[in-house]
Amino acid sequence: MLPRREEGLLEIITSRTNERVKQIAALCASAEQRQSAGLCVLHGIKLCREAARLGAPIRELWITEEAESRYPQDAAFLSGRAAGVIRMSQSVCEKLTPQRTPQGMIAVAEMPQTGAVAPQSLHGGRKGRLLVLDEVQDPANVGGALRTAAALGYDGAVLSQGCADPFSPKALRASMGAAFSIPLYGGGSGALLASALRQCGFCTVATALDDRAAPIGSLQRDGALALFIGNEGNGLSAQTVAACDRTVIIPITGLVESLNAAAAAAIAMWELRP
């Protein structure tokens, strides 16, 4: 699927039933297809530009003639970094993009490999910081949290089993390419990840609505910390909380029950930033 192509080669695809179009659509729709191919799809000029700027290998740039004329600098920048360039019709663009008003540009990029949580690959150091997302299922929350992690200088993010795919179109739009800018690690359950991270030298910190939890502002910030953010509906499991070294809470008023996962992650990461 989508082999590397001779640099500078321009192809023209106008049919929505073209096999290449079907392959791109499958990458957009299926995490399994993305993992199998090692590829993801970027929609929109800003996301394509940011991902390329962050070093994402662009396998193919798909662009309409109108977009090429309207955004000549971006088109030239991305064309120069793509292994192949395809001029697509507006009809094909509308089939391949989830945007209400397509900008006429998508890119197929190689996904970075996800590392394993192991002492040989992770070293906490003096001020190491990791974000751990445990079964966060909304791709917008995953993407938003990764964007904040990159902005605040976190060393990487760990996604447990059950998390939304950070390279789905919706997550990529929310992260605005941040998934390409920080190392990503994967693993099993939150409790197993907490145990593994402790072996790597991290103090594991659970965020939970727990009467025994300390206000996050009171936590000692010295040393390496791994911050755990839980599922949107259920938070962190009792097993994960028990496996962590510390439990903290973000003080809020009684007007709302809890915070959105991405918002909680942003506040907590700011409080514990290196």
State yes or no: pLDDT of 127 exceeds 90: no
Residues 80 and 147 in one domain: no
Interatomic CA distance for residues 157 and 19, integer angstroms: 35
Residues 202 and 150 in one domain: yes
State yes or no: pLDDT of 5 exceeds 90: no
Least confident of 77-81, 82-86, 145-149, 207-211: 207-211
- pLDDT at position 120, please? 67
Using one digit for the tens of pLDDT, what is the confidence trace for 78-98? 999 999 999 999 999 999 988
Other residues' Cβ atoms within 10 Å of the Cβ of residue 116? 12
SS3 56: coil
Within a domain: residue 22? yes
Residues 103 and 126 in one domain: no
- pLDDT at position 8, please? 46
Residues 124 and 225 in one domain: yes
- pLDDT at position 99, please? 74
Task: Tell me the pTM.
Answer: 0.90
Interatomic CA distance for residues 68 and 89, integer angstroms: 12
Q: What range does the domain containing 104 cover? A: 10-110
Domain of 59, CATH number, reads 3.30.1330.30
Task: Give the full edge-to-edge strand order of the sheet including 10-13.
Answer: 10-13, 82-88, 58-63, 105-110, 39-43
State yes or no: pLDDT of 135 exceeds 50: yes
Instruction: Taking residues 246-260, report their average pLDDT.
Output: 88
Within a domain: residue 19? yes
Instruction: Taking residues 127-131, report their average pLDDT.
Output: 91
Q: What confidence category does residue 265 fall into, taking pLDDT thresholds of 50, 70 and 90?
A: very high
State yes or no: pLDDT of 264 exceeds 60: yes
Residues 124 and 186 in one domain: yes
Within a domain: residue 27? yes
Domain endpoint, select from 60, 82, 110: 110
Other residues' Cβ atoms within 10 Å of the Cβ of residue 84? 21
Measured in degrees and rounded to the nearest 5, phi and psi for residue 132 equal: -120, 120
Letter string b/e over residues 45-63, b meaning 16 or more CB atoms within 10 A of that residue's CB: bebbbbbbeeebbbbbbbb
Residues 82 and 210 in one domain: no
Closest among 120, 117, 146 to 133, alpha carbons compared: 146
